Structure 1
Amino acid sequence: MPADRQDFVDNRTDRPDAAALPRVRDVLDAEVLLRGDPQVLVGGDALDAPVRWVHVSDSDQVAQLLDGGELLLTTAAGWPGADAALRSLVDSLADAGIAGIVMELGARFPVAPPALVAACRARGLALIALEQVVKFVAVTEAVHRRIIAGQLEALQERQSLHELFTGLTLRGAPADTVVRETARVLGAPVVLETLGREVVTADMRDATASAVLTDWPARSRTGDGLLAVPVEARGVRWGTLVALPGPAHPAGRTTVLELAATALALARLADGPEAWAQLPARELVNAVVSGRHTGEDDVAARLQAAGLPLRGRVLSVLIAEGADAAATGALIAAISTGVDVANGAIASTAGRDLDVRALGAVHGGDGVVLVSASASLAAALLRRASEASGVGLAVGPDVATVAELLASVRPTRLLAARLRAGEVRRVGDRPLTRLVTELGDDHRLQEHSERMLAPLIRFDEQHDGDLVRVLRAVVSHPGNRTAAASASHLSRSVFYQRIALIADLLGADLDDGETLSALHLALLASAR
């Protein structure tokens, strides 16, 4: 199938109101037909044919008068009795595109001829026999009333859809909001993909990401069970909006998708390509860091759909505290290309040779980058990336599975909060940070933290002080008070005054290694 998939045309119907039309099975529920004791002789999928109109005729030449979609009501008074002639008649009706046949049994055919039943079954044409006499005019009125009511509902639904998507466009709603609303209207998962079949954004509705996005490129390429419309404007196509199977919609599922695709195209023209480029990263980072996912299979599907391969790869997370969108973008560029974007210098040959895929976004005021590489990132490349972003860079451990990647996020965030600009540290080099993460929310660890730090916290709250911040600098630079004072942004004299006050409040010797270790552990466990 070509890359600019056009299979959405196959899902279109010649009649835009078809979605609002009753099916043959719906018509059989009409009270007036039930009086005739209807017997379904050929049903199954044939009963799902839409009924556009009702036509009454006993002529064997009626096919010439039909335009498709009609439900034929007949006593078959003018029909032939020979098997071959009946088969020919059914073929002509099926070729005319009728929805089905309702035949009133009587003098001409006391029972439905077996040849007629077999021919209808062979052509997938619904055949219903009425055991009792009914007024065909009453059937026609009832069905036509239902058709017109459905068409009115479809018009009202289309008006509501126009108002919904026009409102989203006028408000400048981003692509993820449009996709979310589309999924809500359709009651089914909806995916916006690029021409390369990478997922820009998706709303899973009641499904999981793993059920929807696993092997998405292959699923999208085959198109099985999918309804798709292009997202394009001014002769340029940017992607495809795809809906998974779901309930019928009065206005037509294709109509819903087309209106949503128009809103997406207008937003793309207004916001530029950057808006689409940032969405996958922002949604994925939010899922990974905030835990808004249903498990590692969910995250794995999202990662691969976003273009980050997993099999045989080295995975890691990088976090730069305080990095804004520009700094995060610079970090991603440096990691992905091995180029220091600040001065255009090549970071390292190893960086260029690595197959590195990276995406990231700002989350909670920190730049978070997810990396999939063919090998571990070199120290030189990480150093250049830190310099490019202008902030400290915490590097999670190299892992091979999504479960390990998720587990590495917390210790990396803890480490990132304690780094200076331009400083690069790996979680693997910080055993105490790793220990605190592994202990998690153990109440004993929290009690230790509160007990050790309570005097400093109370003092800071009462005097708008900075003792906890100064203590962090002390434990981060053990044995080097000059570096600790610099990290505290205090003069040496003020810094030493703070140290003396901390020691008095804690009743502790800050030159004692065990005491410093205990305080360091307390600070790592503290959320302050």
Structure 2
Amino acid sequence: MTETQPTLRALLARRDLDLRLASRPDDLDEGALDAPLRWVHSSDLIDPTPFLADDLLLLTTGTQFVGAGSDGEAGDDAAYVARLRARGVRGLGFGTEVVRDGIPPALVLACAAQRMPLFEVPYRTPFIALARANAEAIAAQAYARRTWALSAQRAISLAALRPDGLAATVAELASQLGAWVGLFDAAGTLTQSAPADVLDDDARAALATEAGAVLRRGSRAASTLEIGDRRVTMQTLGRGGHLRGLIAIVGADLDLEGRSVVTSVIAMAGLALEQNVGLGRARAALRAGLLHTLLEDDPQLARRVSRELWGPLPTSPVLIGVAAVAANRTDAAVDWLELQAAERGGLFYARSGDGIVVVVSAADEGAPTALAGLLDAAVGLSEPTDYNGFSRAHAQALTALRTAVSGTVTRFADAAGVLSSLDSPAARALADARLRPLRAHDEAHGTALVETVRTWLTHDARIDEAARALGIHRHTVRARVAQAQQLLGVDLSSFPARAELWAALVAAG
């Protein structure tokens, strides 16, 4: 996008207008002559500012200064120019030989003091000629921008037809905008970018963090932000709740035509990604079928099919992971795992009713750990096993998952125990019934019996330690424990009663 907007410099360069810059270069701000102009207006009012818009040139013959002593005193001229400067006027043109032969010296000094560009309009150049010249420049620029937009969209459409459609589209958009363009997948991983080596590592990390945050929100969005001294535009791809990725543009100041080109790319990229959904469903069904055969501890079919389509299954011994991912992030998790399987190999995954099952070599736990961190997933991980023990390892991963929290990996060795088996519908139903008297009392009276008893048992039924943990007096803890005993109808001084109550608290979560 190299077209320049209509400017005072462009008007001064037109020989047919015969304009002369009266300001010295040292009296002007850098770029003052190159600021875009929205219009050219003429007025001889002493205060025309109520009738002016921003970013225009004002033309005057100086009639308003006749008899005001502007030849020798700068007071009126200074106030006049200060008002124009405050209003956002880009420059002042003085028409000579109408009221006087030259530009009043006081006006020259006032414009220099405000760093306002001042130029002479000779008698033979009508003011309307400047207005018409600027209007023609605006129209020519608009035509050039529309022509550029059509040409850019045509070039991008041709790029999209190439075998590497998405990569070619990103590269062509970057070329047309003269900016850095990146395509992030649904998991927030940068998959395509152009041109190379434009952003440093810190900028890329900041961009990836922001892209991940936008995608985690799960809703369609367009946003702009600053990274360092660069302007960044971001636009999500796909439907709300089912985002397929995000396009980021760094270093482009997009006008209406630029935004239209970006919108066309977003539409094409979104369509291309959505078209992959059907193929993704077929792959998911095939993977689920292979997982079913693995759970029967018969890896032969899975080995043969995987070798033909994706490469060999991970080498034994393997780790089985089961990941619980938020519903609006499941597609992102699958996209990320598909990318990892294609780039790294040595990884098999499939969706199941219990979550996403991930199989990796026992020597490589990177994928489950990264999955937990990137997508805030809870992951349960089995002990190493061969494929003949796949079902047992899968059960271990499910056991570990029951105690895992979002964003972390829990290994079976850390989660295994008798109490971990309490996570079942039957155990939860019994636990809820057992704890109902305490919960009902807490809800009715605003007490904290359940929390107090849990903390008391956690600290080995020691009143003083529980009081410190809860931040209350030890007599309050003792009174609450006594009240809990009464409501439950048990004697909590005995170990079996305390063990049963602790089991109920664990099962109830």
Q: TM-score range by the shorter chain?
A: 0.3 to 0.5
Give TM-score, length-normalised by structure 1: 0.44
Q: Which has the larger radius of gyration?
A: 2
